[in-house]
Chain A
Amino acid sequence: MKIAETREVHKRLGRVEALRGVDMDVREGELLALLGPNGAGKTTLVSLLVGLRAPDRGEVRLNGRDPRDPAARRVLGVTPQGTGYPPSLRVREVVELVRAHYPDPLATRDVLERFGLGELAQRNVHALSGGQARRLAVALAFTGRPRLAVLDEPTTGLDVESRRELWREIERFKQGGGTVLLTTHYLEEAEALADRVVVIHKGRTLSEGTPESIKRRVGLRRVRLRAGALPELPGVERYEHEAERHTLWTTDADALVRQLVRHGVDFSDLEVLPVSLEEAFLALLDEEVTA
């Protein structure tokens, strides 16, 4: 059962072709992570699904209807973007405004307490810290007891602890039967939460699968070391070197290091570094071009 879908969706924003034929299903009860580097088209795709924009071509469905129809959006809860709250409203008032739109919303107090905002009910929304503002944003997405919660980069800019707290609440919503569409550019977030991941890049669906399979493709590590000549090594996605300094990109750094040892390579200054998604995509695209 699909709660939302896009078919061959195209959208041009000014001069940029933000989406170039995206197909995506969101299935009832799953947590789907939409993963991609900045500028990939995630936010544009989401804006179509939540009824903010119309596609130039293709079709978007939310609960079987056009998401621009307000009635279709009764199943939907969305996080506001960034910290753009209205001027001079208090936390409680913002929650109450959102509650007024749904037939059976959570009680204001429950919303606030669940997201650690109980003490801040009377606080002006503009006086919230970055982390508090993000928590309120996620809280608002869940306030109307939606069937589909769309969380646009819910944990961007949060510290590890706040991020984990939010993850717990997202999990809890899912346990209750809710569906989540999450955009993120943190691979680890997709890994921790998602049942399924759709990777988009430059307005296209690049790949789709379980977090594990995506991680195998884009979860690269960068291994740096100093050594003489290197033997032929398996599992290297990309390789660069400058005199004795070698840099190798691989999805399995452990295996690579074992191989180095097995080949008796006399290496020093070994470092294993995480790779940003942006870099991983570059490597992935290189691979596709050469393949």
Chain B
Amino acid sequence: MRLWLAHTKVELLALLRQPGFMIPTMVFPSMFFLMFAAPNLPTAVAANFSTASFMAFAVFTVTFFQFGVGIANERENPWSSYVRTLPAHPIYRNAAKVATAAVLALLAALVLVLASQQSTPMNLPLERWPRIFVALAAGGMMMGMLGTALAYLVSPKAALPLANLIYLPLAFMGGMWMPPELLPKVVQKVSPLLPSRQWMELVWPAVLGQAWEASHWLAVAAFTLVFALLAAWAQRRDPHVR
């Protein structure tokens, strides 16, 4: 516990003191929302739907980049080698990273809700929030794993451009920016195969107050597992760690 707190403190301090990374990461999804989604949301239902979708986008942004690019940068950093010589199981550091990403993701989602409240007729009953939260957390975990896998699979320099290359299409084709019916025909066919879309299939029922379908939970769990295994495999063959 003490170790987890110590590492979390360090991670959070590093983030807070680098507002140049933190602020854009948190503000970007909301800005996107205000420019492209908010003007076309006449009803509360549409606004609720879109707000939750963009919250998922915000969580995606934070977790995917925090883990993907963050870990990639650490791979060659002598300091992270040093920290691995300290007498602590790596689980404390990883847990600290998860906690930090969770805080950041929560803040990014909060910024989005505030932006939506100011600009749309969003009106989400309080009792729907716990399920939205659960759905967002599950997807955040999945994308964090995808980011980790990416970080170890490619060279540290390639991580950022590749992350962008994966992240924007996943968000778009998964239906984070517009309802799936409005996506181009080809994309509609591919969309259900994507982890981002499966995630949205958890977020949307939570927003609309409908029941979850087990198949989407299974799909998200399976994607998370695959990404975790990929990350573990890639980490094991990383020459900086071995």
Question: A176 within 8 Å of B by Cβ?
Answer: no
A residues adjacent to B (C-beta < 8 A): 13-14, 47, 50-54, 70-74, 76, 78, 80-82, 84-89, 93, 96-98, 100-102, 140, 144
Does the CB pair A50–B85 fall under 8 Å? yes
Q: List 27 A-B contacts (CB under 8 A).
A: A50-B85, A51-B85, A52-B81, A52-B85, A70-B87, A70-B88, A72-B87, A78-B85, A80-B78, A81-B78, A84-B78, A84-B79, A84-B82, A85-B79, A86-B77, A86-B79, A88-B13, A89-B13, A93-B10, A93-B13, A98-B86, A100-B2, A100-B3, A100-B5, A100-B6, A101-B6, A101-B87
Bound CA span A88–B21, Å = 12
Q: B88 to A14, Cβ gap below 8 A? A: no
* Residues from chain B with Cβ under 8 Å of A101 in the complex: 3, 6, 86-88
User: A51, A82, A86, A93: which contacts B84 (Cβ < 8 A)?
Assistant: A51
- Known pairs A80-B81, A86-B77, A86-B79; list 8 more (Cβ under 8 Å): A14-B239, A53-B242, A70-B89, A78-B82, A80-B78, A80-B79, A80-B82, A98-B86
Main secondary structure of the interface of B (DSSP, over half): helix
Q: B76-104: contact bitstring with A at CB < 8 Å (1 yes, 0 no)?
A: 01110110111111000000000000000
Chain A residue numbers with a CB within 8 Å of B77 are: 84, 86
Q: Report the minimal beta-carbon distance from A19 to chain B, rounded to whole angstroms.
A: 14
Residues A13 and B239 in contact, CB atoms below 8 Å apart: yes
B7 within 8 A of A: yes
Residues in B with CB closer than 8 Å to A71 are: 87
Distance in Å: Cβ of A101 to nearest Cβ of chain B: 4
CA of A71 to CA of B87, assembled, Å: 6
Nearest-Cβ distance from residue B88 to partner chain A, whole angstroms: 5
Q: Tell me if B23 counts as interface (CB < 8 A to partner A).
A: no
**Residue B185, interface by CB 8 Å:** no
Contact between chains at B88 and A97 (CB < 8 Å): no
Which of B6, B84, B85, B89 has its CB near the most chain A CB atoms (within 10 A)? B85
